[in-house]
Amino acid sequence: MLDMRYCELSKDGFGCCMTVKETLFSAQSEFQKVDIFDTESMGRVLTLDGLMMTTERDEFYYHEMISHIPMCAHKNPKTVLVIGGGDGGTIREVLKHDTVEKVVLCEIDGMVVDACKKYLPAIGCELENPRAEIRIEDAIEFIKDKKKQYDVILIDSTDPMGPGEGLFTEEFYTNVKEALKEGGIMAAQSESPFINQKEMKMMYPLLRKVFPIVDCFTGPIPSYPGGYWSWAFCSESVKPLDYIDEQRAEKVSKLCKIYNKEYHKARFALPNFVKELIK
């Protein structure tokens, strides 16, 4: 039998492995290598340029965090923009909020969306929801002329290299801020506090140049190297724990494997070394 194993290892040789049963999709898009394979341990898995994006078994650890924390911290999120997130997991979570009239997904790579619709239906199940608008566009261009249009913007990007690189710049963050309505909130994946300390030390000071309120929340993600992840919470006027929509949080929690109001609040209590990283 062929013993095929996917491993995502850091330069110094630490990381996460899983045995591969079968490759379902593998192609080079205009932007990156897109692979979907099946594993016994983690179900179906999406990688981009060989880096772990999501697995069927643990995708909710990531998607519930990036979505429900900013969404429940907003009083009435009607229009939401998701940047990246072509697998559809983030918009699936956003659409659990009945305040949402429209969620726009701006993903640069149409191949990711098409492949996930076909091979990761449990994650991509809301990509054809009538409240979702899928734009296959470069978010860096897309955002430029959007002024005061969104209540919540979620940056569900790859790492700050390759196609995702331009999503980690002061110019881009400034445009995101201007695309937010008054009282708007931006959340962005901000890498691993264990593996990507350099990237976090680069990202948070940039965010602080743009947003008066910048905070960080963290949580476990088994399939990511180091198993521990962070997200930035940014706004012009909303502090992370100023407000939680109790009723909506309660309703959404019933549809979630992780998210609940107490867990939401607890995410902002950071380890000493993470406080240092985001200074």
Active site members: 156
- Closest approach of a copy of itself to the CB of residue 137, in Å: 34
Interface with a copy of itself (CB under 8 A): 5, 7, 9-10, 12-19, 39-42, 58, 194, 218, 220-224, 226-228, 253, 256-260, 262-263, 265-273
CB atoms within 10 A of CB 66: 25
Q: In this complex, which beta carbon is closest to a copy of itself, that of residue 57 or of residue 78?
A: 57
SS3 label, residue 104: strand
Q: In this complex, which beta carbon is closest to a copy of itself, that of residue 109 or of residue 215?
A: 215
Strand partners, 235: 185, 213
Locate 121 and state its tokens: 């239906």
Select from 122, 117, 181, 127 the least CA-distant residue to 152: 181
Locate 157 and state its tokens: 């990007």
Q: In this complex, which beta carbon is closest to a copy of itself, that of residue 51 or of residue 136?
A: 51
- Closest approach of a copy of itself to the CB of residue 258, in Å: 4
- Closest approach of a copy of itself to the CB of residue 47, in Å: 15
- Closest approach of a copy of itself to the CB of residue 198, in Å: 15
Strands of 180-189's sheet in order across: 132-136, 102-107, 79-84, 150-156, 180-189, 228-235, 213-220
Q: In this complex, which beta carbon is closest to a copy of itself, that of residue 202 or of residue 266?
A: 266
In this structure, the dihedral spanned by the alpha carbons of residues 44, 134, 26 and 168, taken in order and rounded to 10 degrees, is -90
Distance, in Å, from the CA atom of 50 to the CA atom of 9, rounded to the nearest integer, reads 10
